[in-house]
Structure 1
């Protein structure tokens, strides 16, 4: 009897192991929840919904978008990390709650221990914009004036610790200029005041800036990518100023897909492969481009994990720079 029980235990364990290993091959067997950590209408929402449709067609299973916005994406990420790591909850989010906010304030989760990277999805630089009748026609014009008149120019930031503020502070340090910060609660209010002349310059997201550029209300002076953006090929990069402190200047907004930590690597790999295929679709590329985004994938989930870690370290360095500057004032 003991032998039978022993053999029965081995058989049961083998069956469980086989069932577990087979599960990824059958994935997904039910609808998958795609948590977008921003409200409907946001760029992340567009990316999430576009790719959810593509994944649904690919797997012949529903990928259902659920918007859980608030606190710059923190609320949505906090929800995701508490979900079962079974592959049936994934998130599409931006860099804000992953690599920017965690370096400037305490959050309830650890993005590196509680999330499993799947793939980079979209990317776009910030754009340095001034109102259409601004006396500055090039970024060098602005830098020359700012150096001669320290603190006279006002810049709009989207709040303490945001990518807008950190990028502008990084620019100030690299260009050797002093600008006066005017904080706002959102991009639309800052853009309104830029157009109205209450502020002089704004580092804004690619999508928002492109819309205003097309409307003729603002003028773009530079992009914050190391090279010119293919979506705005006539706008120079900050690197092109030739200023040593702006060499290889980089501030890229991005969006990516993550799963709760512990999710099967086989499932993550399956999602990664499907996303790379979707990101090559002409329809997806065109839809992203209209929103001021480039469809960009990752060579592997591990490559995306390395990208996220490097981005976190970059912003942590910028945050320290800002703190050091504030301490001197």
Structure 2
């Protein structure tokens, strides 16, 4: 019996090695010769509503990748649950590299706010590259009697729970920037989650809420047009697109320095060869002068890091935002 078991075991091990080698070779062939296949539809899922920063970047990327690959790349918006409806959708698609996603802080670093997710973003999604990062703009309705962060904090403390800020959903970058401000300033402002930034912005413009901690592309035109006012930006320096809006540090909050970021992600089951092909081609696109200029015009900076660099970046950011979630006792359930 032992003899038979040993023979079977050796045969099984041999077959297993052959299978692994075949899978690796197949993945390499897929990336080098058959991917992307012009006969297959390539999709970029944006897990937020149309019109927001992630949507802008997704459509820029789809256009440039389509040019590089010589085939159309479509964008699909699948908002809800702070981006996790879209995240789960991507995980559930065939792991062939034809369904990409524009990820965010909420999907990769702040998913701890959800205790009942039906998937594990940290394990089920693979970050191909960090696409771009940007500071946020603390933006207010014109009627709010505050011109800067100091006045905002004083107003909120003097009238607790009277200032409401909107976000793209619990755990979204727009939400987390507001929670970081609350934690550092002690200002008792009230969070109002929406299905996406566009819906929150509509209520900000309509006066139903007073404040947002929004990505620059979404609010630049409204600030320049006088429909909203910028109180501060959360980066280390002022935005070239908003030179008159001070940094948070200039407004008296020296530690309120944070950026949000976007990724390109796929299911973690996508073959490694395809992931590497995607990483190389996306980085090639993002590092073109045309794409970098397009990002800069929207208040964003290109990142386009390698696979190991992206993994390390996301790990650091998750540790940071996990701390904010714990201190703020933030939960979506």
- TM-score interval w.r.t. the shorter chain? 0.7 to 0.9
Task: Tell me, in whole angstroms, the C-alpha distance in 2 between the residues paired with 1:78 and 1:29.
Answer: 23
RMSD: 3.3
Task: Tell me, in whole angstroms, the C-alpha distance in 2 between the residues paired with 1:20 and 1:143.
Answer: 55
CA drift at 1:27: 4.2
Task: Tell me, in whole angstroms, the C-alpha distance in 1 between the residues paired with 2:111 and 2:25.
Answer: 42
How many residue pairs align between the two structures?
Answer: 311
Q: TM-score under structure 1 normalisation?
A: 0.79
Shift of the 144–88 alpha-carbon distance from structure 1 to 2, 3 Å rule, reads: closer
Task: Tell me, in whole angstroms, the C-alpha distance in 2 between the residues paired with 1:228 and 1:136.
Answer: 19
Q: TM-score under structure 2 normalisation?
A: 0.78
Q: 5+ residue gaps in structure 2?
A: 1-10
Q: 5+ residue gaps in structure 1?
A: 1-5, 325-329
SS at match of 1:278: helix
Task: Tell me, in whole angstroms, the C-alpha distance in 2 between the residues paired with 1:81 and 1:39.
Answer: 19
CA drift at 1:118: 0.6
Moved more, 277-286 or 12-21: 12-21
Q: Report the counterpart of residue 106 of structure 1 in structure 2.
A: 116
Task: Tell me, in whole angstroms, the C-alpha distance in 2 between the residues paired with 1:210 and 1:255.
Answer: 18
Establish whether residue 249 from structure 1 lines up as the match of residue 285 from structure 2.
no
Shift of the 184–92 alpha-carbon distance from structure 1 to 2, 3 Å rule, reads: closer
Deviations 1:157-186 (A, max 9, x none): 33544444432232123124333x162535
SS at match of 1:240: coil
Q: Report the counterpart of residue 216 of structure 1 in structure 2.
A: 226
Q: Report the counterpart of residue 303 of structure 1 in structure 2.
A: 309
Task: Tell me, in whole angstroms, the C-alpha distance in 2 between the residues paired with 1:127 and 1:119.
Answer: 24
Deviations 1:295-328 (A, max 9, x none): 422330121122222222222211111128xxxx
Shift of the 114–322 alpha-carbon distance from structure 1 to 2, 3 Å rule, reads: same
Shift of the 182–69 alpha-carbon distance from structure 1 to 2, 3 Å rule, reads: closer
Q: Report the counterpart of residue 170 of structure 1 in structure 2.
A: 180
CA drift at 1:33: 3.2
Q: Is the 8 A contact 1:139 1:222 kept in 2?
A: yes
Q: Is the 8 A contact 1:122 1:255 kept in 2?
A: yes
Q: Report the counterpart of residue 279 of structure 2 in structure 1.
A: 272
Which of 259, 267, 270 is matched with 1:263 structurally? 270
Establish whether residue 85 from structure 1 lines up as the match of residue 95 from structure 2.
yes
Aligned counterparts, 1:185-200, within 5 A: 185=194, 187=197, 190-191=200-201, 194=204, 199-200=209-210
Moved more, 167-176 or 18-27: 18-27
SS at match of 1:78: helix
Which of 9, 18, 25 is matched with 2:32 structurally? 25
SS at match of 2:43: strand
